[in-house]
Amino acid sequence: MMSTTEAAIQYEGLTAEALVDQIVREAAGAPICLTSSFQTEDMVALHMLRKRLPEVPVIFLETGYHFKEVIAYRDRMAAEWNLNLINALPQTTLEQHEKQFGLLYIVQPTQCCQIRKVEPLMRSLEPFDWWFTGLRREQSPTRASLRKVEDHKTPTGKMMKKVSVLADWTMDQVNEYAVAHGIPRLELYDRGYTSIGCEPCTAIPEAGADPRSGRWGGKKLECGIHTFSEKV
């Protein structure tokens, strides 16, 4: 049996499609999910995974603050691809949240993300052993050291494998795959958005800036869903 280090090296040498095949074989029926914000990276990773697992659960964080275009695209793709969609909801409605905290995304955006993104995600991941994402190293400095397969531990102590099949892809590669396979494009990209989250916390970045620099007014680069689970 290979050591964890040997396995990590092997994973890094695989193409995206080969890595999906490898993980599906290794999982051998263990529960797999994919988290998706319905940006192009996620749709490409999902396209690859669905070819092997047509009914793979797709977790979407329904924060209540999304662009209406994102919700419309999510619903369109869920219908066209017959997705096994899981809308992960916070413990409170948006009305309850704002009644208690006001516009928390302005005064304490990290706390807002914790309540409306991190906690619902960690709760939704509990049934799964393998977690696929569309993360890429090129997206931001916080993701530059991303490995294709990582061991993670959730706040409850749940151990799982996190798989980023597109870790070493460029955005050009992502777009080329999407065009080649006829994956519809979220219209917000055509307006200049490069990284799309909750509407109040997402802006069009300046020309040449980091793709995620338009998030949270440039004050941070991560909401916490990819940093709150413990990498081990």
Which of these is catalytic: 33, 113, 201, 223?
223
Residues sharing a CB contact under 8 Å with residue 26, sequence separation 6 or more, in sequence order = none
Q: How many helices (H) and strands (E) does the chain have?
A: 9, 7
* Tokens representing residue 164 in the block: 């980023």
Evaluate whether 154 touches 223 at the Cβ level (below 8 Å).
no
Tokens matching residue 30? 């263990």
User: How far is it, in rounded angstroms, from Cα 89 to Cα 57?
Assistant: 15
- Respond yes or no: is residue 223 known to be catalytic: yes
Strand partners, 230: 153
Q: Determine the Cα–Cα distance for residues 42 and 169; give it in Å rounded to an integer.
A: 12
Distances (CA, A) of 6 to 9, 10, 144, 153: 5, 6, 21, 20
- The residue type of 149 is V
Catalytic residues: 223
